[in-house]
Amino acid sequence: MDNNIVYMPTLRLRQQEILVLNSFDFGNNIYPLIEVVKEKDRKSNARPYEEIYNGIINNIRSNHVFVDLPTYLEYSGSVNKEIVEFGFKVINNLETRCEYILKLENKDKIIPVISSYVQKTGEVDTIRRQYDLLHSSFNKIAYRVFIHSFSHDMDEVENLITDNDYLILDIDKLSPFRTPQLRPFIERLARLARGTKILLRSALSPDIENVKLSNDEVIIDADNSHIDIENLRVFGVNCCGDYAGIKKDKMTAGGTISPGFIYYDAVQNQYYGYKADIKDLNQFRDKIVPDIINSQATHRMLEANPPYVGDNNPGYKTILDIMAGTESGKSQAKFKKIAMDHYIYCIKTKIDIGELTQVNI
């Protein structure tokens, strides 16, 4: 079976995520999960849905791509208008959601993601109904199950999943190894002998704010322990996924200028915070970038063998270019791409040196 997955970065297809997907070489062991949350990638884009997303998927340098039109999103009043419209038009309707997945052409590369509707609409038997609509068109299926509907979801998944398929257990921001209420889920996962099991969680609390970061200090509300192989073995999964070094936010529209940066230290497997002295985009170049380059975290990653930072790391290379003045740093959005490029490169390096592998359970 073609199944080399070790890590699953989850990207939500906003502009910076798309740039990462278009430019990063994920190699053989990283299968991205893309969350399609709106009809078009930009308001002004006149191209149809299938042309936009087929183009994105075809450009991704990875053996496989998980494609999800996520059912878990909540459409509050502050969520981006285009996301709300797509949710009500497409995602909330099971048959329409499957139609949109089937519009995507690269069936050998795509692994469609199925989730139940029990928490969204109260409908039952929705995993099987989606399976019936999709399985004949795709070689592999992924089932994404959530804590709040776990028992119900697993009752369906256990009747459908094959060795060729994937089970994504999404525990949101829960700590996977210090939370007693997860024990029943771990025990039931252990009884499932088919499929590749992936633990997906957000390492960064959504409550982390740039203005509250302590400069060059460990972020206490960040927990990256899900990538530790021994922890994965205890949990009973084969591999892990997360949101690629950035927060899993609520997809709201816009935000205020607040220069800051969350920086992953691959040696310590921890996150450090950096923030501006004043609300000015020049602070990225004048304060944050020099602080990152001169940090102990960077020093540790330079001294590692092989080093985690340098010109081969696209995120860190951009930081060096901003410091050198060859690239502008006056963009809060750009630093999201820097964070993702840096984090995924570090994870890929851990895979290359055998520090992170697919776990046999």
Average pLDDT, the chain: 92
pLDDT digits (tens, 9 = 90+) for 85-99: 999 999 999 999 999
Torsion from C-alpha of 286, 291, 292, 293, nearest 10 degrees: 90
pLDDT digits (tens, 9 = 90+) for 138-168: 999 999 999 999 999 999 999 999 999 999 9
Mean pLDDT, residues 163-185:
86
Query: Beta-carbon neighbour count of residue 2 at 10 Å?
Result: 11
51-65, 164-178, 184-198: least confident range: 164-178
Half-sphere exposure of 344 toward its Cβ, with a 13 Å CA cutoff? 30
pLDDT digits (tens, 9 = 90+) for 189-207: 989 999 999 999 999 988 8
Q: Is the Cα torsion angle 216, 219, 280, 332 positive or negative in sign?
A: positive
Q: What's the CA gap between 142 and 66, in Å, rounded? A: 8
> Where in the chain does DSSP place strands (E)?
7-11, 25-27, 33-35, 61-62, 65-68, 110-114, 142-146, 166-170, 196-200, 217-218, 239-242, 260-265, 270-275
The Cα-based distances of 341 to 19, 30, 54, 136, 264 in angstroms read 10, 13, 22, 35, 11
**Whole-number pLDDT of residue 207:** 85
Confidence class for position 79, pLDDT limits 50, 70, 90: confident
Decide: 50 and 103 in contact? Cβ < 8 Å: yes
Half-sphere exposure of 91 toward its Cβ, with a 13 Å CA cutoff? 26
pLDDT digits (tens, 9 = 90+) for 261-290: 999 999 999 999 999 999 899 999 999 999
Half-sphere exposure of 92 toward its Cβ, with a 13 Å CA cutoff? 13
pLDDT digits (tens, 9 = 90+) for 23-43: 999 999 999 999 999 998 666
Decide: 239 and 200 in contact? Cβ < 8 Å: no
250-254, 272-276, 298-302: least confident range: 250-254
Mean pLDDT, residues 307-327:
97
User: Own/partner pairs for 47-50, CB < 8 Å, 24+ apart?
Assistant: 49/100, 49/103, 50/103, 50/104, 50/105
Q: What's the CA gap between 247 and 250, in Å, rounded? A: 9
Residue 122 has pLDDT above 90, yes or no: no
CATH class for the domain made up of 7-249: alpha beta
What ranges do the domains of the chain cover? 7-249, 255-354
Which pTM does this prediction carry? Answer: 0.95
At 326, list the tokens.
Answer: 């060859």
**Whole-number pLDDT of residue 119:** 85
Mean pLDDT, residues 312-325:
97
Decide: 205 and 221 in contact? Cβ < 8 Å: yes
Residue 173 has pLDDT above 90, yes or no: no
At 204, list the tokens.
Answer: 């960064």
Residue 176 has pLDDT above 90, yes or no: no
